[in-house]
Structure 1
Amino acid sequence: MPTTRRRAPLAEQRRPRRGMRRLLTRLVLLLFVVAVVGAGVVGIRGLLHSFAGPQCRATALGKSVTFDPSQTAYAATIDAVAEKRGLPARAATIAIATAIQESKLRNLTYGDRDSVGLFQQRPSQGWGTEKQILDPVYATNKFYDALVKIDGYEQMRITEIAQKVQKSAYPEAYAEHEQEGRLLASTLSGHSPGGLGCRLKDATDGKPAALRSALATELGVTSSVKGTTLTVRAGSERRAWAAGAYAVAKAEQFGATSVTVGSRTWSRTTGADGWSWQAARTAVGKDTVVVRFAGAG
């Protein structure tokens, strides 16, 4: 009788060999370990993010820079004074970059020889008294007074400007902070709407009247206060974003819990949402800013 041979099973019908099964098992285990480790890293980053101290971030031109709230508040003053004086955005960029180089955006009571303040100006060199220089608004105005005397400063390299204004022995160092100055100036002046956000702890005390005074003194805009709400009619959309960014930058100081400009709102939080503006629950006019406080003190 003819012998009937059994056909070899098709490839998809064959059982995996032991070696193949082991390989698949190891691959599954490896993927599982990678997933667990990845989740752990994300979790750790989340924890670190949550427990990190208060921070502010300026984002413009596809780039970001981060400073603490105190530094950002001083940058807001420097930009606001430029806005009030009607100076171009380049002036604020130069001034902020200079303050980063000179004091790391701190209002220092000490420095080289008799240098003090944001720009490390010296009483002995005619910048004013020590008390005057330690007033950020005064110091900023004095810096701009010297800056505008330089013909063509808007087109000059910041190293040249630093040499002329600050009489620096290391003018090249200022160039390292030009991009940081530009990002802060762009967001604070409203040229990059919604580009500035701060992650902050809950406010314990709101000071709307103090913010109203600061807006008038530094930025030159008027506002009204009703209870725990401050309202600015800025006159233009960009100016509204400048006032809104100023309010966010000063939120740690004055206790603001939310800032609304047009259809966007910044809300105070310790999470990553504090770095961005969300759709407003109740929109306001494009040239209007509404700042809310938890409780006025």
Structure 2
Amino acid sequence: MPRTASSTSRHTGRSRLFRVTAALVVLAALGGYLAVQYVTGNKLVEGCTVESADGSDGRARTYRMSPEQASNAATISAVGVSRGMPERAVTIALATALQESGLRNIEHGDRDSLGLFQQRPSQGWGTEEQILDPVYSAGEFYRHLAKVPGYSRLPLTVAAQRVQRSGFPQAYAKHEPDAALLSAALTGRTPAALNCVPPRATAAKADPAKVRSELVRAFGKDVLPAREVTSPDGKSAAGAPAAGPISVPVRATRASGGGGKDADRRGWELAHWAVARSEALRIDEVSYADRVWKAGAGWRTERKESGTTEVRIGLAQ
């Protein structure tokens, strides 16, 4: 049957509508693709990333986390190293916290379990206030781990279970690859491996006294020169107001054994701690050796004649 003028008009209208709809679908798909590329291309996306060196298959491994998780992971690592614990102990602790709390300092859990490691006040782990302090809870985990004979040679699940007495001991195993990646960076073995893009939702200034206090709480009083150690009122040992930027001397630790390479590892441990805690402590810049990290920009190489004797921490003003 021949088409009438009205049927031809309706056909043309449907064709035009189909073409417009198809064009919108293509544009939406393109927008989604570009958004994914923006995120996966490590552009200015909020959060923290740890990346390994190339593995045996030629590909780097990556682990992504929130600033809160990175801050807690850095605290767990720092407390372990300050106690002379080896990297393996840090891996065990991180895998345990990943399973128990997802590296979040939660105020609830099974029965009276709390905090990063879901420790229970009723089982002698401390008061609720103590357990919700990441420095304290990490210290308690390491104190119990150190009592496990040969823990560094045990399978991770066995070592963690000797401390935790969990009803699901095999669950720790699935976190071991990510925990090992994190510990390699946070103990300084993998340089410039941790990058954070803090949200910076507010323009609050940093508190230099708080940064110094947190350094001492995590790493011990010897992390800073005596004149830089602050008291609870925010004053330095000499009585002068604490001010930034902060210079942290790099010295080999008891855990690393000493020597140039070990001191360099200590430097990266301190630098990564500062980057991981950049959101919580309002840290804007971290420099060590020939690398500089800036909030929102990541790491860049900046050639210097020296710079391996201290880590410099720049604060939001």
* TM-score category (smaller protein): 0.7 to 0.9
2:279 is equivalent to residue 252 of structure 1: yes
Report if aligned partners of 1:95, 1:143 keep a CA contact under 8 Å in 2: yes
Alpha-carbon distance between aligned partners in 2 of 1:251 and 1:180, rounded to the nearest angstrom = 21
Equivalent of residue 278 in structure 1, options 295, 300, 306? 300
Aligned to 1:238: 265
Aligned to 1:43: 34
- Counterparts of 1:82-121 in structure 2 under 5 Å? 82-121=80-119
Distance apart, 1:55 and its partner CA: 0.7
Report if aligned partners of 1:56, 1:196 keep a CA contact under 8 Å in 2: yes
Report if aligned partners of 1:60, 1:192 keep a CA contact under 8 Å in 2: yes
Structure 1 residues 125 and 282: alpha-carbon distance in aligned structure 2, compared to 1, 3 A threshold: same
Structure 1 residues 87 and 256: alpha-carbon distance in aligned structure 2, compared to 1, 3 A threshold: same
Report if aligned partners of 1:260, 1:280 keep a CA contact under 8 Å in 2: no
Aligned to 1:263: 290
SS of 2:110's partner is: coil
2:52 is equivalent to residue 60 of structure 1: yes
User: How many residue pairs were aligned?
Assistant: 256
Report if aligned partners of 1:258, 1:265 keep a CA contact under 8 Å in 2: yes
Alpha-carbon distance between aligned partners in 2 of 1:204 and 1:46, rounded to the nearest angstrom = 32
2:201 is equivalent to residue 179 of structure 1: no
Aligned to 2:219: 219
Decide which moves more: 110-119 or 212-221.
Answer: 212-221
Distance apart, 1:207 and its partner CA: 2.2
Structure 1 residues 39 and 78: alpha-carbon distance in aligned structure 2, compared to 1, 3 A threshold: same
Structure 1 residues 281 and 254: alpha-carbon distance in aligned structure 2, compared to 1, 3 A threshold: farther
Instruction: List runs of 5+ in structure 2 lacking aligned partners.
Output: 1-26, 54-59, 229-235, 237-241, 252-262
Distance apart, 1:222 and its partner CA: 0.8
Decide which moves more: 131-140 or 246-255.
Answer: 131-140
Alpha-carbon distance between aligned partners in 2 of 1:279 and 1:163, rounded to the nearest angstrom = 42
The one-letter code of the counterpart of 1:265 is: V
Distance apart, 1:40 and its partner CA: 4.7
Alpha-carbon distance between aligned partners in 2 of 1:184 and 1:46, rounded to the nearest angstrom = 25
Aligned to 1:294: 316
The one-letter code of the counterpart of 2:312 is: V
Distance apart, 1:211 and its partner CA: 1.2
Equivalent of residue 194 in structure 2, options 196, 204, 223? 196
Alpha-carbon distance between aligned partners in 2 of 1:179 and 1:71, rounded to the nearest angstrom = 16
The alignment's C-alpha RMSD in Å is: 2.5
Per-residue CA deviation, residues 86-128 of structure 1 (Å, 9 max, x unaligned), is 1100001100110010011111111101111110011111111
Moved over 2 A (4+): 36-54, 201-204, 223-228, 280-284
Equivalent of residue 229 in structure 1, options 245, 253, 267? 245
Per-residue CA deviation, residues 23-55 of structure 1 (Å, 9 max, x unaligned), is xxxxxxxxxxxxx99975553235557998621
Structure 1 residues 122 and 109: alpha-carbon distance in aligned structure 2, compared to 1, 3 A threshold: same
Report if aligned partners of 1:72, 1:249 keep a CA contact under 8 Å in 2: yes
Alpha-carbon distance between aligned partners in 2 of 1:93 and 1:107, rounded to the nearest angstrom = 18
Alpha-carbon distance between aligned partners in 1 of 2:302 and 2:204, rounded to the nearest angstrom = 23
Alpha-carbon distance between aligned partners in 1 of 2:90 and 2:39, rounded to the nearest angstrom = 33
Alpha-carbon distance between aligned partners in 1 of 2:31 and 2:138, rounded to the nearest angstrom = 47
Per-residue CA deviation, residues 156-213 of structure 1 (Å, 9 max, x unaligned), is 1111122211101111110011111111111111110111110123453212221111
Per-residue CA deviation, residues 256-293 of structure 1 (Å, 9 max, x unaligned), is 11100111011101xxx43xx21127675213111112
The one-letter code of the counterpart of 1:57 is: T
Percent identity over the alignment is 40
- Counterparts of 1:116-195 in structure 2 under 5 Å? 116-195=114-193
The one-letter code of the counterpart of 2:244 is: T
Q: Which has the greater radius of gyration?
A: 1
Report if aligned partners of 1:260, 1:283 keep a CA contact under 8 Å in 2: no
The one-letter code of the counterpart of 1:134 is: L
